[in-house]
Structure 1
Amino acid sequence: MQIQPSKHLSSYIRHYIFLENAGNECKRLRLFTDGSTGLIISGSRNFYAAGSNDQVPSSFFYGQPAGYKDFTAAGSFSMIAVVFQPYFFNVLLNLSAKEVKNQIISAEDALKNELLSFQEDLLSGTDPRFIIIKLNHFFSRFMSGKMNSDDELIRVVQQFMLKNKGSVSSKELELFTGYSERHLERKFENYMGITPKKYGNIIRLHHFINLLKENAGSESTACLSYDSGYSDQSHLIKDFKSNTGLTPNQYLKTEKLAVNFIQLR
C-alpha cells in the first residue's frame, strides 16, 4: 500500500509504503536504486542481510544504494518505508550523502529513541494510515528553517531532470543553472550521493521499468529501450542488470512490493 505524504512534505518525502507478511515462510527481498534514500521502520527483528547471519536493525536509514541490496525476512513482519526525495537525507540528518552511500544506519544511532513509538504501533497492529499521519507530524517539525539555497538548487535541478526523463547533458545543466559541471557534481554528491550523470541514468532506467510494466507482452524490449533513450538494447540490459541484478524478463516475474523493492522467487 502506497500513501502520499502531507502536501507540504511532498518536496521532502516521495511517499510512504506499508508492507506486511502474515506467513512464517522465509522471504528474499531486494532493494534496488531509484535515486532515493529512505527510512525503514519495522516492529520486528527478523531482517537479515542476505547471505549472512548479520541482523539488520529493526529500523534503519539507507543511503544511496550503489546498485541493489538483498535481505531475508524470517517469518511474519510489518514495516513502513519512508521514501525520501534524494536530497532529504542530507537535510534531515545533516550528513553528506556521499559519505553514507550504500550504507545502512541504525535509526536508534541517528535519532535515539524517537522512532520507538512507531515501531510499537506496528507491533500492536495499529492502522498504518494513522501511523503515517503521526509520521507526517514527526517530519514536519524537522523542516522549520531547514531548506537553504543549495537545497533549493538541487531540488530544482532534480525536477528539471525528471521532466526530461534523465536525458540531460552536462552542457544543458550548466546552461540551466549557471554553474560549472564540476560545481554541480560536488553539490549533487553531497546532497544525493551520486553525480548528475548517474542520477540521469537512474531516471532513464525507471522510465524504462514503467514502460516495461505498462506494455508487458505487447512491445519488444528493444522498442521500449529506444523509447527510454537508450542507444541500443545491449546497453539497456547491462544497465538494468547492474542496478537490479536481473534481466528485464526476470524482473517481470518478481513480486513488486514497491517501485524499487521486490520479492525474489
Structure 2
Amino acid sequence: MQIPPPKHLSPFIRHYIFLESSKKEIRNVRLFSDGSTGLILSGDMNLYSSGSEEHMPLSFFYGALSSYKDFYSKGPFSLVAVVFQPYFLNLLVKASAKEVRDSIISVEDVLKNSFQRFQENLLNKITPLTVIRDLNIFFTELIIRENTSDYDFITAVQKYILQHKGSVSSKELENFTGYTERHLERKFDNYMGISPKKYSNIIRLHYFLSLMNKRKYNENLTALSCDAGYTDQSHLIREFKNNVGLTPKQYLKTENKMAVNFIEL
C-alpha cells in the first residue's frame, strides 16, 4: 500500500509504503537505488543484512544507495517505509549526505526516542493510516522548526533532472544553474549524497523501468532503451545490473515487487 504525503510535505517526502507479511519462513529481499533516502519503521521486524548477517535496528534511516543492498527477514513483520526526497535525510541527521551514503543509521542513535511511539503502534497493530497520519504531524512540526530555505536550489536542480527523465548532460546542468560542474558536485555531495551524473543516471534508469513495466516488455529492448534515452543497449544492461543486480528480463520476471525498488528475490 503506497500513500502520498499531504501537499505541504511533498517537497520532503515522496510517499509512504506499508508492508506486512504473515509468513514464517525466511524471505530474501533487495533494496536498490531510486535516488531517494528513507526511513524504515517497525515494531516487530527481524531483518538481517545478507553477507554480514548483521541484525538491522527495528527502525533505521538509509542513505543514498550507490547500487543495492540485500537483506533477509525471519518471520512475520509489518513496517512503514517513509521514502524521502534525497535531501531530507541531510536535514534530519545533521550531516553531509555524502557521509551517510550507503549507510544504515539507527533511529535511536540520531533522534533517540522520537519514533518509539510509532514503533509501538505498529507492534500493537494500530492501523497504518493512523500511524502515517501521526507521522505527517511529526514531520510537519519538525520542518516548521527548521530553516529549509537552503534546499530551494537543490530542489530546483532535482526537478530539472526529473523533468528531463534523467537525460541531461553536465553542460546542460551548468547552463541551467549558472554553476560549474565541480560546484554542482559539491552541492550534490552535501545534500543528495551522490553526484548530479549518478542521480541523473538513476532517474533515467527508473524511467526505463516504468516503460518496461507499463508495456510488459512487448516491445524489444532496443526500442525501450532508445525511448528512455539510451543510445547503447549494452550500456543500459551494464548499468541496470550494476544498480539492480539483475538483468532487465530477470527483474521483469520477479514476482513480488513490494515497491518499484524493493523486491523479493
Question: TM-score band (shorter)?
Answer: over 0.9
Structure 2, unaligned stretches of length 5 or more?
none
Is the 1:18–1:80 contact (alpha carbons within 8 Å) kept by the matching residues of 2?
yes
Structure 2 counterpart of 1:261: 262
Q: Does 1:61 align with 2:58?
A: no
Partner of 1:123: 123
1:1-265 map, 5 Å: 1-144=1-144, 146-254=146-254, 255-264=256-265
Q: Which moved more, 1:146-155 or 1:6-15?
A: 146-155
State the Cα deviation string for residues 20-66 of structure 1 (Å, max 9, x = none): 00111111010000000000001124100013331000100000111
2: distance between equivalents of 1:47 and 1:253?
24
Deviations 1:54-113 (A, max 9, x none): 100010000011100000011100000000001111122221000010000000111101
- Secondary structure (helix, strand or coil) at the match of 1:125 reads coil
Tell me how far apart the structure 2 counterparts of residues 211 and 74 of structure 1 sit (CA, whole Å): 34
Conservation of the 8 A alpha-carbon contact between 1:49 and 1:55: yes
Structure 2 Cα separation of the partners of residues 130 and 145 of structure 1: 23
| Runs ≥4 residues deviating over 6 A | none
158-167 or 41-50: bigger deviation:
41-50
Residues 179-229 of structure 1, C-alpha deviations (whole Å, 9 max, x = no match)? 111111100110001111111000000000000101113111111111111
Q: What is the alpha-carbon distance in structure 2 between the residues aligned to residue 252 and residue 167 of structure 1?
A: 23
- The structure-2 alpha-carbon separation of the partners of 1:109 and 1:169, relative to structure 1 and needing over 3 Å to count, comes to same
Q: For residue 172 of structure 2, give the secondary structure of its aligned residue in structure 1.
A: helix
CA distance in 1, matches of 2:127, 2:145: 31
> Shift of the alpha carbon at 1:170?
1.3
- The 8 Å contact of residues 45 and 79 in structure 2, kept in 1 or not, is answered as no
Identity %: 59
Contact in 1 for aligned 2:184/2:196 (Cα 8 Å): yes
| In structure 2, distance between residues paired with 1:35 and 1:45 | 25
Q: Which residue identity is paired with 1:256?
A: K
Distance across 2 between alignment mates of 1:82 and 1:187: 24
SS at match of 2:142: coil
Instruction: Report the residue type matching 2:72 in the other structure.
Output: T
What SS is found at the alignment partner of 1:144? helix
Asked if 2 retains the 8 angstrom alpha-carbon contact of 1:91 and 1:147, the reply is: no
CA distance in 2, matches of 1:124, 1:11: 31
SS of structure 2 residue aligned to 1:96: coil
The verdict on how the C-alpha distance between 1:114 and 1:148 changes in structure 2, with shifts beyond 3 A counting, is: closer
Distance 2:150 2:250 in 1: 40
Higher mean displacement: 71-80 or 139-148: 139-148
For 2:92 and 2:56, locate their aligned partners in 1 and report how far apart those are by CA, in whole Å. 22
DSSP-derived class of the 2:191 partner: helix
Deviates more, 1:12-21 or 1:213-222: 213-222
C-alpha distance in structure 2 between counterparts of 1:242 and 1:21, whole Å: 29
Q: TM-score, normalised by structure 1?
A: 0.97
Cα shift at 1:149 = 4.4
Contact 2:45–2:78 under 8 Å retained in 1: no
Q: Distance in 1 between matches of 2:159 and 2:108?
A: 32
Which letter does structure 2 place at the counterpart of 1:187? K
Structure 2 CA distance for aligned equivalents of residues 230 and 147 of structure 1: 39
Query: 1: CA distance between counterparts of 2:13 and 2:84?
Result: 4
Amino acid in structure 1 at the alignment position of 2:259: A
1:236 aligned partner, one-letter code: L
